[in-house]
Amino acid sequence: MSVVLSRRDVDFLLFEWLDAAGLTERERYAEHSRDTFDAVLDLAETIATRQFAPINRLLDTQEPVVGEDGKVVLPAELSEALRVYAESGMPAATFDAEVGGMQLPFAVGQGAFAFLQAASAAAASYPFLSTGNASLLVEHGSPEQVERYALPVIEGRWYGTMALSEPQAGSSLGDITTRAVRQPDGTYRLFGTKMWISGGDHELSENIVHLVLAKVEGAPAGVKGISLFIVPKFLVEPDGSLGERNDVALVGLNHKMGWRGTTNTLLNFGEGLATPGGAAGAVGDIVGEEGHGLAQMFHMMNEARISVGMGAVALGYTGYLHSLEYAKQRTQGRVAGAKDPSLPQVPLTEHADVRRMLLAQKSYVEGGLGLLLYCARLVDEQVSGADEAARTRAHDLLEVLTPIAKSWPSQWCLAANDLAIQVHGGSGYTRDYAVEQFYRDNRLNPIHEGTHGIQSLDLLGRKVVAGGGAGLATLVGAIKDTTGRAVAGDATLAAYAAQLDERVDRLAEVTGTLWAGGDPAVALANSAVYLEAAGHVVMAWIWLEQLLAVGDRRDAFFDGKRAAARYFFAFELPKVGPQFDLLASLDRTVLDVDPAVL
């Protein structure tokens, strides 16, 4: 079996559970068939295995550096891997046909891209960010902007970035200070410094399209004053040819614990190339209207958060497969009750605690993959659902699931990576084995694209209360629909359904309790605990859904699903009990503490 990602599992989830093949009956995907989906998955798996996985360690050890000419130096092997990826047509996978895309379902695109993310988080980050960038322009840009800036990215010729954070404004985007000055010709000139810009500079492509948040002079304070600008590294002529170097300067590269193959930059806009007498500043082209920047960015960010969650799943999944392979091959000791030292040593998989660590990983990563593909499938439903009601339901469900889809794998598939190291023992702690890199790489995911804390405020402060609680009601309804089908199953399924029913009722009840007082400070004080409890309830639901898709089929794969679900219901779901108790008590520990005593 490949240790990158389980194709069997992706196929099961997409085709035996989520009926991705059924999408081809819809007009939007009518050009496709199960065969074309398979072909894309085959392609992704092949590129991941042959081009990405073999260079993953290299990208970790040969970090980008700035050469004497000021250009970023990356390993040639990365250029080659990305060239193969670009030439495969994969960058266009989920884009509409009218912009040159394959118009694949997002679920299939995500399933395919997960192979790349599992093989090399760093290598995959370049197309990952670029897809988000072009997707935003396709949604919000003018036709000219799409043609000039998005098409080259969709074609895989250019890369794109998202330039949001600044040194003083990370989670608090309302506090950005990058200025945009209107010019008589309708363009803008930008001045400011952007931090943590992944893919912010490199020589992998002839141009880089930065999407930059800035405030037009005189704009209101806070998020309402934010606008979005296209700021290419090289100016682009109307015919698509490249013009002058724009005033975007690489100030420095960040050096991270993991994810080292991704250039992560500090960029100055409008300070490096100011010419006497000329119009100083970085030339920017506004997207849509002034003041709409954050809303536009959020449209992209929702899909980006799903992709980040998938990235966390992918790293957890590949770590699980690596540790499973190791545990099957490595012998050590003997099992409880059969300690005769004259007997040969047994494989690690014979030890109960190693099985626990493998089952835990399996429950996290297969559950996570299920959740992320389910969310991706909702994206497809949003755009291709049979009627308004179906599309609205998909939208509402996706809204409430997105913070969980981003944060749950970032926590638990990182925990899986921790267990993958532990299964390896001392070897897992060395750089001779892959799992330590997965752990370091995955540690980024609870931070970027909105930290764990930000996701928790999004879920409890916005998503579950949106539309008078419609978001939560939709989720509860969806879960109840599943448990309703499961109680009709065998005794095991019925027992799981009963457990889940109780927990989802508690989730709804506790949500009401938290907001009953109407004081956001009190309601949100323990939002991270709420996020984690809600996440485990959702994951139990995803596992129950998977078991329903398994039905009464039996083989190693299906029995593995049963075992992982059993683990999740026995070891994991009960953890929410004390969490809900804490939340229901409106615990004030963190509110009351005086920071001076810390």
Site for a copy of itself in 171-190 (CB under 8 A): 171-172, 174-175
Cα distance between residue 589 and residue 529, in whole Å: 13
* Burial (0-12, 13-18, 19+ Cβ within 10 Å), 340: exposed
Which CB sits closer to a copy of itself, 38 or 587?
587
Which CB sits closer to a copy of itself, 6 or 268?
6
**Token duo for residue 573:** 């779901």
Residue 66 binding a copy of itself, by CB under 8 A: no
**Token duo for residue 250:** 């690489």
**Token duo for residue 393:** 């339901």
Which CB sits closer to a copy of itself, 81 or 308?
308
From 240, 333, 484, 517, residue interacting with a copy of itself (rule: CB under 8 A): 333
Cα distance between residue 195 and residue 199, in whole Å: 12
Shortest distance, position 548 Cβ to a copy of itself, whole Å:
19
From 117, 318, 526, 546, residue interacting with a copy of itself (rule: CB under 8 A): 526
Which CB sits closer to a copy of itself, 354 or 464?
354
Residue 67 binding a copy of itself, by CB under 8 A: no
Shortest distance, position 53 Cβ to a copy of itself, whole Å:
19
From 126, 158, 191, 567, residue interacting with a copy of itself (rule: CB under 8 A): 567
- DSSP reduced 3-state for 26: coil
Compute the half-sphere exposure of residue 323: CA atoms within 13 Å on the CB side of its CA: 33
Q: Active-site residue among 166, 436, 449, 545?
A: 449
138-167 residues in contact with a copy of itself (CB under 8 A) are 165
Which CB sits closer to a copy of itself, 64 or 141?
64
Near a copy of itself by CB under 8 A, which window of 32-40, 139-147, 304-312, 323-331?
Answer: 323-331
Residue 428 binding a copy of itself, by CB under 8 A: yes
**Token duo for residue 488:** 């009709």
**Token duo for residue 84:** 């193969």
Shortest distance, position 315 Cβ to a copy of itself, whole Å:
15
Which is nearest to 183 in space by CA: 249, 280, 269, 293?
Answer: 280
Write the binding mask 237 to 276 for a copy of itself: x where contact by CB under 8 A, - elsewhere: -----------------xxxxx------------------
Near a copy of itself by CB under 8 A, which window of 10-18, 88-96, 108-116, 346-354?
Answer: 346-354
432-451 residues in contact with a copy of itself (CB under 8 A) are 432, 436, 439-440, 443-444, 446-448, 451
Inter-residue contact 260 to 60 (CB < 8 Å): yes
Residue 392 binding a copy of itself, by CB under 8 A: no
Near a copy of itself by CB under 8 A, which window of 211-219, 241-249, 385-393, 578-586?
Answer: 578-586
Near a copy of itself by CB under 8 A, which window of 5-13, 130-138, 203-211, 518-526?
Answer: 518-526
Inter-residue contact 174 to 226 (CB < 8 Å): yes
Which is nearest to 452 in space by CA: 523, 403, 401?
Answer: 403
- DSSP reduced 3-state for 243: strand
536-565 residues in contact with a copy of itself (CB under 8 A) are 556-557, 559-560, 562-563
Which CB sits closer to a copy of itself, 22 or 578?
578
Sign of CA dihedral 482, 486, 487, 488: positive
Shortest distance, position 116 Cβ to a copy of itself, whole Å:
22
Inter-residue contact 193 to 168 (CB < 8 Å): no
Buried b (16+ CB within 10 A) or exposed e, 75-91: bebbeebbeebbebbbb
Write the binding mask 16 to 45 for a copy of itself: x where contact by CB under 8 A, - elsewhere: ------------------------------
Near a copy of itself by CB under 8 A, which window of 16-24, 272-280, 283-291, 334-342?
Answer: 334-342
Residue 529 binding a copy of itself, by CB under 8 A: yes
**Token duo for residue 176:** 């950005």
Sign of CA dihedral 478, 484, 489, 491: positive
Shortest distance, position 24 Cβ to a copy of itself, whole Å:
32
Shortest distance, position 409 Cβ to a copy of itself, whole Å:
16
Cα distance between residue 260 and residue 63, in whole Å: 6
Which CB sits closer to a copy of itself, 139 or 290?
290
**Token duo for residue 396:** 């509402």
Cα distance between residue 403 and residue 393, in whole Å: 17
Residue 89 binding a copy of itself, by CB under 8 A: no
Inter-residue contact 461 to 324 (CB < 8 Å): no
Which CB sits closer to a copy of itself, 229 or 567?
567
Which is nearest to 293 in space by CA: 214, 188, 208, 233?
Answer: 214
Near a copy of itself by CB under 8 A, which window of 299-307, 357-365, 385-393, 536-544?
Answer: 357-365
Residue 535 binding a copy of itself, by CB under 8 A: no
**Token duo for residue 297:** 């960015």
458-517 residues in contact with a copy of itself (CB under 8 A) are 461
From 134, 457, 507, 539, residue interacting with a copy of itself (rule: CB under 8 A): 457
216-235 residues in contact with a copy of itself (CB under 8 A) are 221-223
Q: How many residues lie near a copy of itself (CB under 8 A)?
A: 104
Residue 406 binding a copy of itself, by CB under 8 A: no
358-387 residues in contact with a copy of itself (CB under 8 A) are 358-359, 362
Cα distance between residue 306 and residue 314, in whole Å: 12
* Sequence-ordered list of residues with C-beta below 8 angstroms from that of 432, at least 6 positions apart, any chain: none
Which CB sits closer to a copy of itself, 103 or 410?
410
Shortest distance, position 144 Cβ to a copy of itself, whole Å:
33
Map tokens 């396709």 to a residue: 138
From 332, 467, 505, 509, residue interacting with a copy of itself (rule: CB under 8 A): 332
Shortest distance, position 307 Cβ to a copy of itself, whole Å:
18
CA separation, residue 101 to residues 20, 156, 195, 277 (Å):
18, 11, 31, 43
80 is catalytic: no
Cα distance between residue 429 and residue 426, in whole Å: 5
**Long-range contacts at 506-509 (CB < 8 A, ≥ 24 apart):** 506/576, 506/580, 507/472, 507/476, 507/533, 507/534, 507/537, 507/580, 508/472, 508/476, 509/584
The catalytic site residues sit at 449
